[in-house]
Structure 1
Amino acid sequence: MPTALIIGASRGIGHEFVRQLREGGWKVFATARDDAGLQALRDLGAEALKLDVTKPESLAGLGWQLDGEQLDLAVYVAGVYGPQHQERNAPTLQDFDNVMHTNVFGAMQAIPLLAPMVEAARGKFAFISSGMGSIGEAESSYGWLYRASKAALNMAVKTAAFDHPDAVFVALCPGWVRTDMGGPNASISVEESVSGLLDVIGQLGPQDTGSYRNYAGRNLAW
């Protein structure tokens, strides 16, 4: 039975990853920050682990709980959007710290901790990024802080791939998804997005490590 870890799974894309993987017969570890989220994951049949990605000590505890595990798949989903303004409005220090700690710092703390477990299974380590993190495809400054955080995440993923040759690293854009973050007018359902992401992940080989794809498999410009 293959084993997966989904980080940030209490709702939305992360929760759907857990649901689809469990339906596919995977053993799934999944994290949430509160008791309600943990119970929802248990209801799906996952092994629920409490985690706050903004706190290094919480991530260290996750490593202890997963000691000895080999991960065929790890997915870092945890993320926040932050203020929706453009560059004419500088972010507050509080907003900057919140977005960067969750979207970038948490991922950079998780990589050295979890990558050896993924390498042990010759597995895949995926990170939910965004097309808004693409510098080459940027068309506005809307969501300025979020864009900057996802571009930074992309760099973390790309460069970490060099140090972990026995795992496949990938940054993934899920599309504009109908979640709490994406809103009710988004173009695709969470089921469609995650199904596409799992298809893309399943087709990745060693030659694809360090790549940046969307849920339909298209290579995105950095």
Structure 2
Amino acid sequence: MKSILIIGASRGIGLELVRQYTEAGRRVIATVRDDAGRERVQALGADVLTVDVANPASVSGLAWQLDGEKLDLALYVAGVIRRPNALTPPTQQDFDAVMHTNVLGAMQAIPQVAPLVADAGGVFAFLSSSMSQIGSVPNSESWLYRTSKAALNMAVAAAQHNYPGATLVTIDPGWVQTDMGGGTAPLTVEDSVRGLRNTLASVTAADKGRLLHHDGRRASHW
């Protein structure tokens, strides 16, 4: 039986992805960082792995924990934000927190997970952001976050060449009512995830390495 892997499922979009896919009858394997996240995910009927994506040693265990699995869909959802603009230099602590979670964790996960996705001819999607698009930069707000998501887009597009059996994409969930997006965001978590699921179901080989939007649009630049 082919399964779905969701990396970073403790809360927000990741947790809602678990809920919607399990309700649709899919077998879901989800990663969390702590016991509270484990309880939330287990309550939805998913299998749970403990992984800290900011810790390369933790991510390196994914391959053996997933040994024998066929993944027709994997999602890297984990992400953090820091909001200062370019008038303020990022601290070392903020730089490490954002880059380790948003970029390094994804780059550590790709060699562990992409072969399993390729074996199933599946899709490996990474949550990015419209704020990553270098062709559309209205300001420097969340400067470090923007930079990390642009780096993620490149990491995924480059890695695609090594895993021709899988389709690797980045995907923008929209501005969502999560801890990161805030309560004034126009999209509920439920609506964002419904859009993500529909868009992921429409992915073809022509999308390899591309940035997609939750509403199905394909980005013309990223």
2:27/2:46 contact within 8 Å kept? yes
2:12/2:178 contact within 8 Å kept? yes
SS of residue matched to 2:60: helix
TM-score normalised per structure 2: 0.98
Cα distance in 2 for residues equivalent to 1:89 and 1:167: 40
SS of residue matched to 2:70: coil
Cα distance in 1 for residues equivalent to 2:176 and 2:205: 28
AA aligned to 1:73 is L
Cα distance in 2 for residues equivalent to 1:55 and 1:85: 24
What corresponds to 1:107 in structure 2? 106
Alignment of 1:131-142 (within 5 A): 131-142=130-141
Cα distance in 2 for residues equivalent to 1:187 and 1:94: 31
Cα distance in 1 for residues equivalent to 2:10 and 2:182: 17
SS of residue matched to 2:212: strand
Alignment of 1:123-162 (within 5 A): 123-162=122-161
Cα distance in 2 for residues equivalent to 1:149 and 1:80: 10
Cα distance in 1 for residues equivalent to 2:23 and 2:130: 28
Cα distance in 1 for residues equivalent to 2:206 and 2:131: 25
Q: Deviations over 1:24-71 (max 9, x none)?
A: 111100011000100110100000110100111111222211111110
Please list every run of at least 4 consecutive aligned residues from structure 1 whose deviation after the TM superposition is greater than 6 angstroms.
Answer: none
Cα distance in 2 for residues equivalent to 1:207 and 1:75: 19
> Mean Cα displacement is larger for which, 156-165 or 44-53?
156-165
How much is the aligned-residue C-alpha RMSD, in angstroms?
0.8
SS of residue matched to 1:210: coil
2:169/2:212 contact within 8 Å kept? yes
Tell me if 1:191 matches 2:184: no
AA aligned to 1:180 is D
What corresponds to 2:116 in structure 1? 117
**Displacement of 1:6 after TM fit?**
0.2
What corresponds to 1:30 in structure 2? 30
SS of residue matched to 1:73: strand
User: How many pairs align?
Assistant: 221
Q: Deviations over 1:131-156 (max 9, x none)?
A: 01110111110000000000000001
Cα distance in 1 for residues equivalent to 2:117 and 2:39: 26
What corresponds to 2:86 in structure 1? 87
What corresponds to 1:177 in structure 2? 176
Instruction: Flag structure 1 segments of 5+ consecutive residues without an equivalent.
Output: none
**Displacement of 1:209 after TM fit?**
0.9
Percent of aligned pairs with the same amino acid: 55
AA aligned to 1:33 is R
Cα distance in 1 for residues equivalent to 2:160 and 2:50: 27
AA aligned to 2:164 is P
1:39/1:48 contact within 8 Å kept? no
2:2/2:70 contact within 8 Å kept? no
Cα distance in 1 for residues equivalent to 2:60 and 2:211: 28
Cα distance in 2 for residues equivalent to 1:211 and 1:24: 27
> Mean Cα displacement is larger for which, 205-214 or 169-178?
205-214
1:31/1:50 contact within 8 Å kept? yes
1:8/1:30 contact within 8 Å kept? yes
Cα distance in 2 for residues equivalent to 1:25 and 1:64: 25
What corresponds to 2:218 in structure 1? 219
TM-score normalised per structure 1: 0.98
Q: Deviations over 1:189-222 (max 9, x none)?
A: 0111011011111011112111111101112221
**Displacement of 1:4 after TM fit?**
0.4
